[in-house]
A and B are shown apart, each in its own frame.
Chain A
Amino acid sequence: MIAFTRRRAMGALLAATAASLTLAAASVSWAQEQTVKIGYAIAKTGPNATGAGITTLPNYKMWVEEVNAAGGLSLPDGSKRMIEVIEYDDRSSNEDLVRAIERLATQDEVDLILPPWGTGPNLAIAPLMDRFGYPQLAVTAVTDKAPEFAARWKRSFWMLGGGHDYAEGLAAVLKSARDAGHINGKIAMVSVADGFGIDLVNGARPAFEEAGFEIAYDKSYPLGTSDFAALMNEAKETGADSFVAFSYPPGSFGMTKTAQSAGYNPKVFYIGVGGAFPIYPGIANDKPAGVMSIGGVNAASPEIQAYFERHMESAGAPPDSWASAITYVSLQMLEQAVERVGLDHEKLAGELSSGTFDTLIGEVKLEDNQLRDLWWVGQWQDGSFRGIDPAGKDGAAEPIIPKPEW
């Protein structure tokens, strides 16, 4: 038996570190002449790493792989340049993020900066991006103040709408279901007491009341709650046909499991962030059918289907059905804008703001620097998370109400 001593352990640790450093040094690729330097700082560790790792990073990686495989980014003069990526981990801290953005702009002097994941981080860097003049394609930022921000920072673009959009979309879906006699006029609503939950619930209260609903249960719960049994019991006892939760992923998943084990079958079961994640069907014991959540995709579109396949190949997992595709759309817009006007920031921002782009989700043109052509409500149907609201949007699925029992 080998005597396990501290000295030996430390020696082994040192050797391992040295070996990995050597490997890293050996694998640093010498950059080619004339690349396009694209930098980003994103959460690879800490609480934001989960969202960034599902929605944002796989798309960045896939897009760079695809562009470089095709010979690089096309420029207006017809030449092509490979993309060189500079990546920093902001450890989910906005201070680190801001420092990393400064570094990217001043020391690394990158040509383009891609945005971080999340509303807070995008707001944190917006003034800085503006000062350095970089266009900011803020994809994973949901904010009702998008019009204000777009006016304040001329080169910022907001691509996921605001809380009231999603709340009003849901109210529209529920209203038509009630008018058709599928559900009663009561809603049980819970929300997480944190940025996004508060935003949505503040949009939802007036929207539901305006649609003539009685909010029979309206409670918030603290972030980090893991046990929803008591909460869901209360919601069930109100006799409301619609259960609405403006939740973050752990809550969305926890409530799904609690509803299943307690045999709670409301006619409408709506959850917040996480409902559109590719792992959701697994969490719902492969019975996600009828569950509603934020976002959605046009699952019938061949472009979306091909995108799902490529994402699966590149990242080993499907994309989420809310912001993933939009993230890729933002990169497509960037690619086409560079091809039209080159890398000059002012021209790029102008093109992004006024140009029309051919993307995954069809033809895209921003309104006041915002993407408004979005799915507000989606529902799991036949294994895909399909957009159901706006009902008039191309590719909208017909909502299934009441939801099939678990």
Chain B
Amino acid sequence: MTTLVLGLVLGGTYALLALGLTIQYGIARIMNLAYGEMTLVSAFCLVFLFQKLGLPPLVSILLVAPAGYLLGWVLYTVMMRPLVDRAANPGKLEVDSILATFGLLFVLQGVMLLVFGANFTSISYLDRGIPVFGVTIALNRLIAFAICVVAGGGLALALSASRWGLIMRAVALTPGSAPLVGIDVNKVARQAFALGSALAAVGGTSVAMYQTFSATDGVVFTMKALVIVIMGGVGNVPGALAAGFALGLVETFVSVMIDPGLTLAATFAIFLAVLLWRPQGLFGRRA
């Protein structure tokens, strides 16, 4: 029981981290290697707002998320749009976007080091233990879990049930033929990229609440998110949620039942198994 609860909560925080990337990669077709840095920028912003202005993190999320959206919008307009225009095919765009965002990663990291310094950063916020089914969970992790469920659930619902979601899915599925039915693919892709950035920002704020981080940790988050996205199926929100939870559960179980030293190995073992068994991801469709 303990393991189950701890694993689910950990999985929720993982899934939340991966949501934005799955949208960016699935719909906008941009493989964003600077994703982890984006989450960190928002984590630093949250700490700054909390320490300097005394803004409670839960309020800051309401500020940071739209700011993330705006940043994503600007980034897409300035940096990604020319790549999209130039790319002859989706494969070319993937390669180009990987190279471009790889550069962006260092830019963002450098800016963070300059502005926030190299120090390990963390805040103490809602560090109380809350008993859940007899297991003590830190309240801030529980909140991250709740945010994940709300954001992930809402997004999955919007994508599957609304007209906006239909358009998004159309672009994700066949960017080539979406314009034939009057969809402005560029607008949709820009929206998707911006939405992904907003989700990265939300993920970052939750990370800031329960974890110690420093300006050079971005790659860790990117890797985790990438594994989850690919496992869940690219652009598939329910898939990313399921994969995140699965990873959290497996890590916790392995840690308790076998050996904590094998958690990382287990993660990649599952990742490999999924890739071999269903290369399109757990919930992906065959292209």
Contact = CB atoms under 8 A, between A and B. Distances in A.
Given A50-B119, A253-B120, A257-B127, A219 B78 contact: no
Interface string A202-224: 00000000000000000111101
Contacts, number: 129
Given A4-B77, A219-B259, A261 B118 contact: no
Nearest to B207: A226
A26 B186 CA distance: 44
Given A219-B261, A277-B120, A285-B127, A249 B136 contact: no
A46 B7 CA distance: 30
Interface residues of A, number: 46
Interface in A209-258: 219-222, 224-227, 229-231, 233-234, 249-250, 253-254, 257-258
Contacts of A233: 2, 6, 256
Given A49-B118, A277-B120, A258 B138 contact: yes
A80 interface: no
Question: How would you classify the secondary structure of chain B's contact residues: helix, strand, loop or mixed?
Answer: helix
B119 to A, nearest CB: 6
A261 B81 contact: no
B280 interface: no
Contacts of A282: 124
A220 B261 contact: yes
A272 B160 CA distance: 48
A371 to B, nearest CB: 26
A6 B127 contact: no
A10 B74 CA distance: 12
B118 A250 contact: no
Given A53-B117, A260-B127, A253 B261 contact: no
A9 interface: yes
Contacts of A221: 255, 260-261, 263
A263 B259 contact: no
B210 interface: yes
Interface residues of B, number: 48
Contacts of B265: 222
B10 interface: yes
B83 to A, nearest CB: 11
Given A4-B74, A227-B10, A285-B127, A263 B136 contact: yes
Contact of B137 (A10, A229, A250, A257): A229
Contact of B261 (A47, A222, A234): A222
Contact of A229 (B6, B117, B214, B220): B6
A114 to B, nearest CB: 18
Nearest to A220: B261
Nearest to A406: B127
Given A44-B113, A229-B6, A261-B136, A249 B212 contact: yes
A222 B263 contact: yes
Given A257-B127, A261-B138, A224 B264 contact: yes
Given A220-B261, A221-B261, A250-B120, 17 more contacts: A45-B110, A45-B113, A49-B215, A50-B216, A52-B118, A53-B119, A224-B220, A227-B10, A227-B13, A227-B251, A230-B3, A250-B213, A253-B122, A254-B211, A257-B210, A263-B136, A279-B119
Interface of B: 2-3, 6-7, 9-10, 13, 74, 77-78, 81-82, 106, 109-110, 113, 117-120, 122, 124, 127-129, 136-139, 210-217, 220, 251-252, 255-256, 259-261, 263-265
A190 interface: yes
A262 interface: yes
A46 B110 CA distance: 9
A405 to B, nearest CB: 13
A4 B9 CA distance: 42
Contacts of A231: 255, 260
A274 interface: yes
A93 to B, nearest CB: 12
A152 to B, nearest CB: 32
A49 B216 contact: yes
Contact of A263 (B81, B122, B129, B216): B129
